Each structure stands twice: as C-alpha cells, then as structure tokens.
Amino acid sequence: MSTASADVVADAPARPLTLLSEEEQMFQASVRRFAREQIGPHVRSMDEAGLFRPELLQQMFALGLMGIDIPEEYGGQGGTFFQSVLAVEELAKVDPAAAVIVDVQNTLVNNAILRWATEEQKRTYLPRLASNTLASYALSEAGAGSDAFALSTRAVDKGDYWSLTGRKLWITNAHEAGLFLVFATIDPALGYKGITCFLVERDSPGFAVGKKEDKLGIRASSTCELILDDCRVPKANVMGEVGKGYKIAIETLNEGRIAIGGQMLGLAAGALDHAVAYAKQRKAFGKVIGEFQGVQFEIAQMAVEVEAARLLVYNAARLRDGGHDFVSQAAMAKYFASDIAEKCASRAIEVLGGVGFTKDYPVEKLYRDAKIGRIYEGTSNMQRVVIAKDLLSR
C-alpha cells in the first residue's frame, strides 16, 4: 500500500457502532487496530505477489482470530459466531483477502467440526486449528458449483481406510492449509445421499495441492485445485455419518454466507471511509470537494447502503447465535451486501477521480475484490432462489 493510501486509512473515522455490547466493541476495536497497523502496510505488495505474508498469518493465530468461537477447552477463544463476523468485517475494511482467510477457518471449518465431529476428532483438530493450522473447505468441482451435489470425487471403502479419487477446484486457503474438509460421494447413483465428509490431512498419501489460480481480486487469499489420487483416509476421519455429508455442507454454507455478507459489508464500509476522507482533503474550484452536492449525494447513498447491509448481516448473525431460523436472512444478507460492495467501491473510485483508478489508492483493489462476493458460497441468483422459495412455502 502506498503512503497516500495508508494515510487515508489512518484518517478514516470509525463508523458508528450498531447494537454491540461493550465486550463486542472492545473485540471489534482490537481487530480494527490489528488490521490497520499490521495488515494495512502490506496490502498492496501481497495483492501484487498473490501471496499472504506467513508472519501475518502467524499473528492472526497468536491473536486468536483463527479460533474465535472454538471453546477454551480446545484452545480457542470461547467467543461467538457473531464475533467471527465482526472480525471478518473489520479485516475486510483493510483487506478482503485477509478477511476470507479468517472467514473460512472460523465459519466453515471450525464451525463444521464443532457441530459434526466426534469428541476424539475435536480433541485432535480443534487445538491445532486454534493455534497453528490453517484449513480449507473442499466442496466445489468443475461440474459442481451452484449444483454443489453434482460432485464426482469418489470415496471407496477399502476395509481399513477410505480411498478418495477426484479433483477439487477453487479451494480457498489451499496453498497454506494443513487440514481439508473434503466432500466425496460413495456412489454417484445415490445423488446427494451418497455425499460424505472426510477430514484429510495435507500429508495424506495420494493427496496433492495443484494449480494456484491467478485471480482478479482477493489475490492474497490462495485459491487452488486439489488432486486426490487413491488418497488414503483413515476410517476415523469420516466426519458425521457416511452419506450425510450433504447435511453438513448445506447447514455450514448457510452460516458461512453470513460471514461473506460481513466481508462484503466491510469492503463497502472501507470504500466509504476512503471516499469520505478524500472528499475532506481534495480541493477543486477553491474548496474541498465534499462541499459539492454531487459528491455529498454519492457519499450519502453509500452510507445508507452500508448501514442497511450492516443491519442485515448483524441480524442474521444474531439469529444464528440465538438458535433461531436464519436461512432466508443469511441469503438476504449475502445477496444485498455483495450487491452494495460493488456499487460502493465503484462510487468511491468516482469520488477519488483519476487517482482512484490508480494503484496509489486502495479503492481500485476494493473494486476488484468486490466481484467475488456475487459468486462464491452461493451466487446472487442462488440467494434469490432461497429467499423466494422461503416466502412461497409459507
């Protein structure tokens, strides 16, 4: 990140806190400070290199950001799902790539293990996930994207172990991960009823991390293919019941969508912060551009959209933590936040004008990062399907 862009981040005021307890405010402030002071100076270089700095990942583990709602008995922070979403939001204001690393670890992998793993599996893996092991969630394949259960990766019972063969694509965190939640089918003829979830360690025989994707945005977050060629997985590493992996995938992704909404919310809020800070500094025709009504309208529109997204995301996270139905609210949060992230990043570039189109300021990166929000963990069209079906089924 250039000096100019770093100054904008430093000068940006914290947005008003909405519906947060004192403990949550303190947690939010600590993550915000870490993001600005430790991650901020490296955002541009990591984006250009397409790599996340290992020392920053180590710091995130040391701060407890990789095991937020893992209970203390397993070495975690004993926090809440809502706090995981807060962390994702604050990190995304500075670097959405850092945010998705924390997101996948907490709201997908840790969450799935807490809900579905055996006690022995929890004691084996949760302390590692809280302290030093990054994880990946491996569901997608070339022919299984929105139709997630059309996957072809096969799992064959070999008596003493399971043999997994297939290829996974677009797997977040894969370059650095030491543990993978891999979904495979025991029989394609069974459809979704054949899907099973396996805990696969990186050094498993027959397992390899393949091509790393060269992406438009969130470039510091690794996205790779996984190659399984007679990958041997112990029988003890089946998570949940054989043939019930579809339930793990559906329920975990429903929760993970809230955090993606949080990532897109944070991105939009970061874009707004940059636009406001720049509008207070840049002068044209003898006065700062923030005094022009045209600029004020753009900023006002962004502020309304960010606040609306925040309320949707926070509400969905609170419903989840409270044990209430939240599937439709999660879909709404992700759909709306993904939409306004693109719009806010675009408006921020326009407020900054020519410099906003350059890499000297971070808004062009936020614009590139925003696009993935409408695609991963359920496309915007799939979210609309979920929302509509819920309404029509009542």
pLDDT in tens, 163-173: 999 999 999 99
Q: Are residues 226 and 351 in the same domain?
A: no
Q: Are residues 83 and 202 in the same domain?
A: no
Q: Maximum CA pair distance of the chain? A: 79
In this predicted structure, what is the pLDDT of residue 91?
A: 98
Those residues with Cβ within 8 angstroms of residue 124's Cβ, 6 or more apart along the chain or in another chain: none
Tell me the average pLDDT across 380-391.
Answer: 97
Q: Are residues 100 and 203 in the same domain?
A: no
Q: Are residues 35 and 100 in the same domain?
A: yes
The residue from 206, 222, 243 where one domain ends is 243
Q: Are residues 308 and 387 in the same domain?
A: yes
Q: What is the CATH number of the domain that holds 15?
A: 1.10.540.10
Considering only 18-32, 322-336, 339-353, which range has the smallest mean pLDDT?
18-32
Given pLDDT bands bounded at 50, 70 and 90, which one contains residue 8? very low
Q: Are residues 130 and 140 in the same domain?
A: no
pLDDT in tens, 122-132: 999 999 999 99
In this predicted structure, what is the pLDDT of residue 148?
A: 77
Q: Are residues 251 and 387 in the same domain?
A: yes
Q: What is the CATH number of the domain that holds 287?
A: 1.20.140.10
Percent of the chain topping pLDDT 70:
95
Residue 335 has pLDDT above 90, yes or no: yes
pLDDT in tens, 287-334: 999 999 999 999 999 999 999 999 999 999 999 999 999 999 999 999
Residue 18 has pLDDT above 80, yes or no: no
Residues carrying an active site annotation:
377
In this predicted structure, what is the pLDDT of residue 326?
A: 97
Given pLDDT bands bounded at 50, 70 and 90, which one contains residue 112? very high
In this predicted structure, what is the pLDDT of residue 329?
A: 98
pLDDT in tens, 261-290: 999 999 999 999 999 999 999 999 999 999
The residue from 106, 134, 162 where one domain ends is 134
Q: Are residues 388 and 251 in the same domain?
A: yes
Percent of the chain topping pLDDT 90:
93
Query: Could you give the CA distance from residue 370 to residue 342 in angstroms, rounded to a whole number?
Result: 5
Q: What is the CATH number of the domain that holds 190?
A: 2.40.110.10
Query: 3-state secondary structure string, the chain?
Result: CCHHHHHHHHHCCCCCCCCCCHHHHHHHHHHHHHHHHHHHHHHHHHHHHCCCCHHHHHHHHHCCCCCCCCCHHHCCCCCCHHHHHHHHHHHHHHCHHHHHHHHHHHHHHHHHHHHHCCHHHHHHHHHHHHHCCCEEEECCECCECCCHHHCCCEEEECCCEEEEEEEEEEEECCCCCCEEEEEEECCHHHHHHHEEEEEEECCCCCEEEEEECCCCCCCCCCEEEEEEEEEEEEHHHEECCCCCHHHHHHHHHHHHHHHHHHHHHHHHHHHHHHHHHHHHHCEECCEEHHHCHHHHHHHHHHHHHHHHHHHHHHHHHHHHHCCCCCHHHHHHHHHHHHHHHHHHHHHHHHHHHHHHHCCCCCHHHHHHHHHHHHCCCCCHHHHHHHHHHHHHCC
In this predicted structure, what is the pLDDT of residue 280?
A: 98
**How many structural domains comprise the chain?**
3
Residue 236 has pLDDT above 60, yes or no: yes
In this predicted structure, what is the pLDDT of residue 190?
A: 94
Tell me the average pLDDT across 47-72.
Answer: 98
Q: Are residues 154 and 287 in the same domain?
A: no
Do the Cβ atoms of 180 and 174 come closer than 8 Å? yes
The residue from 134, 154, 185 where one domain ends is 134
Residue 85 has pLDDT above 60, yes or no: yes
Residue 208 has pLDDT above 50, yes or no: yes
Q: Are residues 94 and 165 in the same domain?
A: no
Q: Are residues 192 and 237 in the same domain?
A: yes
Q: Find the distance separating the first CA and the last CA of the chain, reported in whole Å.
A: 50
Q: Are residues 84 and 102 in the same domain?
A: yes
Q: Which domain holds residue 52?
A: 3-134
In this predicted structure, what is the pLDDT of residue 169?
A: 97
Query: Could you give the CA distance from residue 96 to residue 369 in angstroms, rounded to a whole number?
Result: 7
In this predicted structure, what is the pLDDT of residue 4?
A: 40
Tell me the average pLDDT across 349-377.
Answer: 97
Residue 229 has pLDDT above 60, yes or no: yes
- Supply the mean pLDDT for the chain: 95
Q: How many CB atoms lie within 10 A of CB 263?
A: 34
